[in-house]
Amino acid sequence: MARTKDFSVIGKPLPRVDAWAKCTGRAQYADDLSLPRMAYGKLLPSIYPHALIQHIDISQAERLSGVLAVITGESLPVKYGIMPSTQDETALAVGKVRYVGEPVAAVAAIDEDIAEEALSLIHVEYEPLKPIMSIEEAVTVKEPRIHDYGPEGNIHKLVSLEFGDVDAGFAEADHVREDVFFYQGNTHLPMEQHSALAQWNPAEEKLTLWSSTQTAHYVHRALARVLQLPEHKIRVIAPPVGGGFGGKDDPFSHEICAAKLSMITGRPIKITLTREEVFYAHRGRHPVLMWVKTGVKKNGKITAMHFKSFLDGGAYGSYGIASTYYTGALQTITYKIPAYRFQGMRVFTNKPPSGPKRGHGTPQPRYAVELHMDKLAQDLKIDPITLRLRNLTGPNHMTVNWLKITSNGLKKCVKKVVAASGWKDKYRKLPLGKGVGFACSTYICGAGLPIYWNDMPHSEVQIKIDRTGTVTAFSGAIDIGQGSDTVLATVIAEVLGLYPQDIKLVTADTDLTPIDLGSYSSRVTMMMGNAAYEAAMKARKLIFKAASEKLGVPVKNLVAKERRIFDREDPKRALSFAEAARLAETRFGLIGAVGSYKPPKKMGNYKGSGVGPSPAYSFSACVAQVDCDSETGAVRVEKIWLAHDIGRAINPILVEGQIEGSVYMALGEVLMEEQIFRKNLHKIPSLLDYKSLTFKEMPPVESILIETDEPRGPFGAKEAGQGPLNPVIPAVANAVYNALGIRIEEIPITPEKVLKALEEKAKGKLARVGPDGIPDYKFPDPIKVEPPEEWKQEHPPVSQAAEKVG
């Protein structure tokens, strides 16, 4: 890839291409759409957490004037699920309900009031079953089973892997410690509630679905499967999405029901979820109970780590298999771990399904490991920053579990954030109640594998340039607020010498745009960006060729910049971009170009090796400063400093926006957010009672962008959407310890927990609030995976390495 630091639009703080539409309310979200003869759908939620459905009587509802159709699980019996190996969902419950709020029936009516009234006329007879509401219960209670698959009882997935010789690693350690942590579940809370509008065209037997989704391509596939329609008869369009955070990554009941109801009634049907239904659709952060044991040398060097995780999956599979692996996969990316054993378990419970939320499966282990590292530093009487610096991975590093790191700016992140925050003058030097805490982390830039197995590109971009000089880009990528439209336009604009607002965009429409797998796993800048770069370079080649002939300047001397094509040596020899486009069309016919991106092949060859590989990894380091009130237990975060290795910022405003958004979300998780249940149902499914931060709690954030010019990224770019969330949560927890000398080892850190820990401390007991232990469960013996050669060469056995450190 051509590398020049003299960019025109890359790296410039330009406004988003959709800023005007979004700020003036002109952007049309899914629920804003309306079609002639449109009718409304609503879903009947289950009132039982776990029950057999004996009988559903829809006759009364069907007779209500204004009702167009009523359907139940029998109308949509085909199972689906985001992961090919866990097709365990139906659009409406068939035979059994598994959580309060699960859709049981759906109605279409001429208005929402009638649809709602019709729901009250549907009579469902249930036979209640024992609900299973916790990890501990799910591990021990074998019957009833929530699903009839999985290794045993209510266990959904078991993982047991070992890389390198862990027992030998522990034997070599000078010090070993074990800790137990709990990370409470929480939800995405997008501003926009999910909405889907379906239109069936009976003449063409064609279905169109507009949906607030992050994954139009996967919704497309699920619709084809469940509705048993050929894929080319379905068109899925994602309008601008009002926030996703992973909550709109799965195919959902309301999308399939809207489609089915439209097919039955012949009218467009819209279903918009209520806020309460969004809490039940969920797919949020898994509650995870974790146990971690690490061996270290006296100098702090890690010799081995053993990590166990227990994930509360809720009622369905969703992304859960990937989530389980993610709780174990990335530990080795941050710190050099010579021998690593990971054992993970996901269980089914009678709660809304857990799934991917910003950071997918990695904030939980990051919280555990970063608190654990702080405690190791204390055991060894080493400064916590020094301990981390001694263990950091570097660039071009192969991990023991076969993950390849290319660029790595973590060390620089640590140094910058430590300097900016004034760490050295604050750590252990602030008055009682005030404190600073530190943590670092990593994240993937796109999953190395697609959700369903195939060998095709993950992202494709098409560019058309016509004689007016108009450039139109077609991409399946979905702007969920993260700014993917701006990234697409900026990459193409840079190559063609235009401005982002010059590029017309057609996105996220499965009829018009080529495939992009979706806005998940922090993949879009990396994958769509590379595809767009390739397409733009191909188009530029044709434009340059035509311009070269006209100007009599060799192609290699041509520059595209500021809407002109000109001679590098004599910039007055120039054509406007539009003139050049006209010449190119005259010479070659319509100018069109395509680009595709497929991540590098995965390295490891063991079961589960598909989760963790990525073209590149982003890194973050965070310092949090807190002010704690020891009388009320209140924790106020005063400031967050966050340094993020972005590779290169395509647009620094977007990157800072992602960092600030990540900090906001992380602070909600560490301070107050809880997806909690009482008497077998969600205790607080409303925006008022489910507490997330307001402006009043949001501290200033100092974002520091570290550029490492990632060789695999478009213009050197990496991700920013998820990674910056990860270090914030443990940094705050560590800051609370620094402030008050108490360890809160289960989030959220509520005032009640702070006071409880302070009381224990005053009594001279262990100043800790956290889980007592993990379930007594014997995992299967780990599959032993030989570390890669590259790793072994880089890392001779620990004993020799230790000698070198001396």
Partner 1 sequence: MLRLPKFEYLAPKTLSEATKMLADHGPDAMAVAGGTDVYPKMKRRQFLPKLLIGLRHLNELKGVQGNAHSGLVIKAGTSLTEVSNHPMVRESYPGLATATGVISTPILRNMGTIGGNLCLDTRCNYYDQTHHWRAAIGWCMKAPGPKGWAIAPERAPEKGDIPCRVAPGSPRCWAVSSTDSAPMFIALDAKVKLMSRAGERLIPVRELYRDDGMFYLNKRHEELLTEIHLPPASGVKSTYWKLRRRGSFDFPVLGVAVTLRQAPDGRVERAKIVLGGVGSHPMEMPQAAQLLMGQKITPDVLDAVAQAVFQPARPLDNTDYHLFYRKRMAAVYVKRALTELASM
Closest contact distance (angstroms) between CB of 105 and partner 1 is 13
Residue 79 neighbours by CB distance under 10 Å:
14
Closest contact distance (angstroms) between CB of 132 and partner 1 is 17
Interacting residues with partner 1 between 597 and 626 (CB under 8 A): none
Residue 113 found at the interface with partner 1 (CB under 8 A):
yes
Cβ-based nearer residue to partner 1, 56 or 439:
56
Cβ-based nearer residue to partner 1, 556 or 678:
678
Q: Where are the beta strands (DSSP E) in 263-364?
A: 269-272, 288-296, 302-312, 340-347
Q: Produce one character per residue of 699-723: b if its CB has 16 or more CB atoms within 10 Å, e if not.
A: bebbbbbbbbebebbbbbbbbbbbb
**Stretch in the footprint of partner 1 (CB under 8 A) among 249-257, 271-279, 542-550, 725-733:** 271-279
Interface residue with partner 1 among 632, 784, 799, 805 (CB under 8 A) is 632
Closest contact distance (angstroms) between CB of 678 and partner 1 is 8
Interacting residues with partner 1 between 740 and 759 (CB under 8 A): 751-752, 755
Question: Counting Cβ atoms within 10 Å, is residue 604 exposed (0-12), middle (13-18) or buried (19+)?
Answer: buried
Rounded distance between C-alpha atoms, residue 776 and residue 725, angstroms? 32
Are residues 709 and 600 in contact, defined by beta-carbon separation less than 8 angstroms?
no
Interacting residues with partner 1 between 638 and 697 (CB under 8 A): 672, 679, 681-686, 688-689, 691, 693-697
Cβ-based nearer residue to partner 1, 212 or 309:
212
Cβ-based nearer residue to partner 1, 653 or 676:
676
For 56, half-sphere exposure in the C-beta direction (CA atoms, 13 angstrom radius) is 27
Closest contact distance (angstroms) between CB of 184 and partner 1 is 15
Q: Which of helix, strand or coil describes residue 436?
A: strand
Q: Produce one character per residue of 228-254: b if its CB has 16 or more CB atoms within 10 Å, e if not.
A: ebeeeebbbbbbbbbbbbbbbbbbbbb
Interface residue with partner 1 among 19, 33, 38, 47 (CB under 8 A) is 47
**Stretch in the footprint of partner 1 (CB under 8 A) among 88-96, 110-118, 368-376, 705-713:** 110-118
Closest contact distance (angstroms) between CB of 755 and partner 1 is 7
**Stretch in the footprint of partner 1 (CB under 8 A) among 269-277, 321-329, 409-417, 657-665:** 269-277
Interface residue with partner 1 among 11, 41, 45, 150 (CB under 8 A) is 45
Rounded distance between C-alpha atoms, residue 551 and residue 543, angstroms? 12
Cβ-based nearer residue to partner 1, 696 or 804:
696
Interacting residues with partner 1 between 326 and 385 (CB under 8 A): none
Tokens of 614: 């990525």
Residue 274 found at the interface with partner 1 (CB under 8 A):
yes
Closest contact distance (angstroms) between CB of 44 and partner 1 is 9
Closest contact distance (angstroms) between CB of 527 and partner 1 is 36
Rounded distance between C-alpha atoms, residue 522 and residue 534, angstroms? 20
Rounded distance between C-alpha atoms, residue 519 and residue 488, angstroms? 13
Closest contact distance (angstroms) between CB of 187 and partner 1 is 16
| Bridge partners for 744 per DSSP | 769
Tokens of 509: 């429409």
Rounded distance between C-alpha atoms, residue 273 and residue 772, angstroms? 39
**Stretch in the footprint of partner 1 (CB under 8 A) among 42-50, 83-91, 543-551, 779-787:** 42-50
Residue 125 found at the interface with partner 1 (CB under 8 A):
no
Rounded distance between C-alpha atoms, residue 754 and residue 535, angstroms? 55
Tokens of 616: 């590149």
Cβ-based nearer residue to partner 1, 12 or 691:
691
Interacting residues with partner 1 between 168 and 207 (CB under 8 A): 193
Closest contact distance (angstroms) between CB of 24 and partner 1 is 20
Q: At what angle do helices 253-265 and 216-227 cross, to 10 degrees?
A: 50
* Of residues 94, 116, 118, the one with CA closest to residue 104: 94
Cβ-based nearer residue to partner 1, 280 or 791:
280
Cβ-based nearer residue to partner 1, 280 or 335:
280
Residue 453 found at the interface with partner 1 (CB under 8 A):
no
Nearby residues of 175 by Cβ (< 8 Å), 6 or more positions away: 295, 296, 297, 298, 376, 379, 380
Angle subtended at Cα 203 by Cα 262 and Cα 251, rounded to the nearest 5 degrees? 35
- Classify residue 725 by its DSSP letter: G
Alpha helices in 39-162 (DSSP H): 59-63, 112-120, 135-140
Q: β-strands 574-576, 123-128: how paired?
A: unpaired
Are residues 519 and 484 in contact, defined by beta-carbon separation less than 8 angstroms?
yes
Closest contact distance (angstroms) between CB of 448 and partner 1 is 40
- Residues binding partner 1: number (CB under 8 A): 36
**Stretch in the footprint of partner 1 (CB under 8 A) among 40-48, 402-410, 648-656, 722-730:** 40-48
**Stretch in the footprint of partner 1 (CB under 8 A) among 259-267, 367-375, 452-460, 628-636:** 628-636
Residue 66 found at the interface with partner 1 (CB under 8 A):
no
Residue 631 found at the interface with partner 1 (CB under 8 A):
yes
Interface residue with partner 1 among 10, 53, 68, 100 (CB under 8 A) is 100
Interface residue with partner 1 among 32, 174, 276, 383 (CB under 8 A) is 276
Closest contact distance (angstroms) between CB of 482 and partner 1 is 26
Closest contact distance (angstroms) between CB of 684 and partner 1 is 7
Cβ-based nearer residue to partner 1, 278 or 304:
278
Report the phi/psi class of residue 16: left, alpha or beta, with left for phi > 0 and alpha for psi in -120 to 50.
Answer: beta
Cβ-based nearer residue to partner 1, 82 or 315:
315
Rounded distance between C-alpha atoms, residue 279 and residue 55, angstroms? 27
Are residues 253 and 175 in contact, defined by beta-carbon separation less than 8 angstroms?
no
Cβ-based nearer residue to partner 1, 97 or 139:
97
Output the CA–CA distances (angstroms, integers) from residue 600 to 90, 455, 525, 597, in the order listed.
35, 11, 16, 9
* Of residues 337, 374, 315, 391, the one with CA closest to residue 744: 374
Residue 763 found at the interface with partner 1 (CB under 8 A):
no
Closest contact distance (angstroms) between CB of 181 and partner 1 is 21
Are residues 71 and 257 in contact, defined by beta-carbon separation less than 8 angstroms?
yes
Q: Which of helix, strand or coil describes residue 743?
A: strand
Interface residue with partner 1 among 19, 32, 79, 112 (CB under 8 A) is 112
Cβ-based nearer residue to partner 1, 270 or 372:
270
Closest contact distance (angstroms) between CB of 52 and partner 1 is 17
Closest contact distance (angstroms) between CB of 481 and partner 1 is 21
Cβ-based nearer residue to partner 1, 2 or 688:
688
Cβ-based nearer residue to partner 1, 51 or 733:
51
* Of residues 444, 510, 455, the one with CA closest to residue 477: 510
Q: Which residues form the interface with partner 1 (CB under 8 A)?
A: 45-48, 100-101, 112-113, 116, 193, 272, 274-276, 631-633, 672, 679, 681-686, 688-689, 691, 693-697, 751-752, 755
